[in-house]
Amino acid sequence: MSLDRSVRAVIFDMDGVLTDSEPLINAAAVAMFKEHGLEVKPEDFHPFVGTGENRYLGGVAEKYGCRLDIAEAKKRTYEIYLELVPERLNAFPGAVELVRACQEAGLRVALASSADWIKIEANLRKIGLPPEQWEAIVTGDDVEHKKPAPDIFLAAARMLTLTPEQCVVIEDAVNGVQAAKAAGMRCVAVAQTFPAEQLPLADLVKPRIAELTLEDLGAPAGESRLPPLFPSGNIAPPRSFPREGEGKPWGLWATLGFSLVIAAGFLAASAAAMAMVLLAAAVLGREDLARGLRDGSNGLFLALATATSTPVSVALIWLFAWLRRGLPVKEYLALKRVRGRHLARWLVLLLCLGMVSDLITWLIGRPLVPEVMVTQYRTAVLAPLLWLAIIVGAPLAEELFFRGFVFKGLLHSFLGGTGAVLVTAAVWAVIHLQYDWYGMTIIFVAGLLFGYARLKTNSVYPCLLMHALMNLLATAQVIVWVHFGGATG
């Protein structure tokens, strides 16, 4: 099976190409308008397919002279849409297989969809092609001009560090085909949304994606039959494309190297905190302030170390993510919003894990509250500072580091998602040297849950909240145990 060597990547549209989602978003939009007291027809949306939800809804609103708050309308439309996805969304036959065949053939794969991220993620996870399996994903929010402007496809090429001539686009919509050709790319269309006669600008038209072959994608690109629709401005192809690797996270070794620098910054800040504790103990003549420094059970040191090391660690993490050109810091660290009810589900899972952990601990006769935590509480001196460090500082620094920066680098290495979850959980557990093997095991299991949440949601926010809740509950247990339980000393 031979491919034209000039073709290096395949850029897929999503709606109407990979997933049969057009009827679902159509039904959701009709239902949304009905809630606003307006009866619209499914065919009213047809001219706006592929242009993004803003235009998709706004175009129909203009047709009927309806004044619509697009942000609220889109939010409600997505709420209805996401309720339909689990039962009604399916991949087109052959779509998933074609993506994987491209990857196996050495072609790079990207997704360029005018939809918002919330819809893209839901669709991809439902059909078994989660976001982390793609080399690049460009959403409607990432470009100024939507299809039929070429912005979205040019952005995908830049993220792949390829020229337009090295990319072939698979589209289903008239606007999408026009955008691909305006970008100077070969375009293969599938007549799954529009009839073939409405897609004459495509280089090749197939009835269904299941009929596409690698030869169809690798054929020599023909000359564009459509001149650029927007030939000037910030959407023109750059004269020189980014260097190799831009748009992707740091590689495995670079990630490990930067991680060591971040760890060194953490240790330096912690050393400064230890010096502060020793100085305070000497000046005040209170040897008790320095008790437990060696074994990590000194609460004052823990509070000061976290207060000093968190800003340093976060700053270094942000810096090294920012230094990676072509990848926004928020995307690098997975700072992406997650729906409230989804966050609630992860918090419930953490609570269940906590109850199971406490039950096992009780059954095997181990103390529910480790002695080291009791000592930390009693030696805190400034209890509110300790609580702030444990519930806010530690989760922020550790999650941005482990499930943010490190996870991103490992995820895109040969270790993949499973390796990223296991490695970050293991290292996170090992650094908690103040606990014994049993305590580290519990932390490791919690780390597996955090990593799985990071992998499933493509966001670090569930990890942050679960970590904070876990530490809050542990702190509450210590307080109850010291004041009302059987703690002595």
Same domain for 267 and 128, yes or no, is: no
Q: CA 403, CA 447: separation in Å to the nearest integer?
A: 9
- The answer to whether residues 342 and 424 touch, using CB atoms and an 8 Å cutoff, is no
Q: What confidence score (pLDDT) does residue 245 get?
A: 42
Same domain for 52 and 32, yes or no, is: yes
Same domain for 84 and 111, yes or no, is: no
Q: What confidence score (pLDDT) does residue 293 get?
A: 66
Please name every residue paired with 186 in a beta bridge, in sequence order, or none if there are none: 168
The residues annotated with a catalytic role in the active site are 13, 15
Mean pLDDT, the chain cut into blocks of 10 residues (489 residues total): 68 93 86 86 78 78 82 85 86 93 90 87 90 87 85 90 92 93 94 91 93 78 36 33 51 92 92 82 73 69 87 95 81 83 90 94 90 83 87 94 93 82 94 89 95 86 95 90 65
Same domain for 423 and 439, yes or no, is: yes
Q: CA 350, CA 155: separation in Å to the nearest integer?
A: 38
Same domain for 198 and 306, yes or no, is: no
Q: What confidence score (pLDDT) does residue 236 get?
A: 33
Question: Which of 99, 47, 53 lies closest to 77 in space, CA to CA?
Answer: 53
pLDDT, tens digit (0-9, with 9 covering 90-100), for 177-230: 999 999 999 999 999 988 999 999 999 999 999 999 988 887 433 333 333 333
Q: CA 347, CA 461: separation in Å to the nearest integer?
A: 11
Report the predicted TM-score, pTM, of the whole model to 2 decimal places.
Answer: 0.55
Q: What confidence score (pLDDT) does residue 141 get?
A: 78
Same domain for 37 and 13, yes or no, is: no
Same domain for 357 and 328, yes or no, is: yes
- The answer to whether residues 179 and 152 touch, using CB atoms and an 8 Å cutoff, is yes
Single out the residue in 88, 113, 137 at which a domain terminates: 88
Domain limits for position 357: 252-484
Question: Which of 455, 456, 427 lies closest to 443 in space, CA to CA?
Answer: 427
CA distances from 69 to 59, 61, 82, 141, 403 (A): 13, 10, 20, 18, 36
Which residues contact residue 386 at a Cβ distance below 8 angstroms, ignoring those fewer than 6 apart? 299, 300, 302, 303, 376, 377, 380
Q: What confidence score (pLDDT) does residue 23 get?
A: 84
Cis bond upstream, residue 148 (ω within 30): yes
Instruction: Report the relative pairing of strands 167-171 and 136-138 from DSSP bridges.
Output: unpaired
Same domain for 71 and 139, yes or no, is: no
- Asked if the structure places residue 243 within a domain, the reply is no
Q: What confidence score (pLDDT) does residue 239 get?
A: 30
CA–centroid distance for 264 within its chain? 27
Sequence-ordered alpha helix ranges (H) in 323-370: 329-332, 340-363
- The answer to whether residues 386 and 299 touch, using CB atoms and an 8 Å cutoff, is yes
Same domain for 77 and 95, yes or no, is: no
Same domain for 38 and 108, yes or no, is: no
- Asked if the structure places residue 458 within a domain, the reply is yes
Same domain for 180 and 265, yes or no, is: no
CATH code for the domain of 209: 3.40.50.1000
Query: With 0-12 CB in 10 A as exposed, 13-18 as middle and 19+ as buried, what is 35?
Result: exposed
Q: What confidence score (pLDDT) does residue 240 get?
A: 32
CA distances from 209 to 98, 190, 205, 213, 344 (A): 8, 6, 10, 9, 38
Same domain for 146 and 207, yes or no, is: yes
316: which 2 tokens? 């270094």
- Which strand ranges, in their side-by-side order, compose the sheet holding 136-138? 136-138, 108-112, 9-12, 167-171, 186-190, 204-206
- The answer to whether residues 410 and 388 touch, using CB atoms and an 8 Å cutoff, is no
Total number of domains constituting the chain:
3
Single out the residue in 88, 108, 131 at which a domain terminates: 88
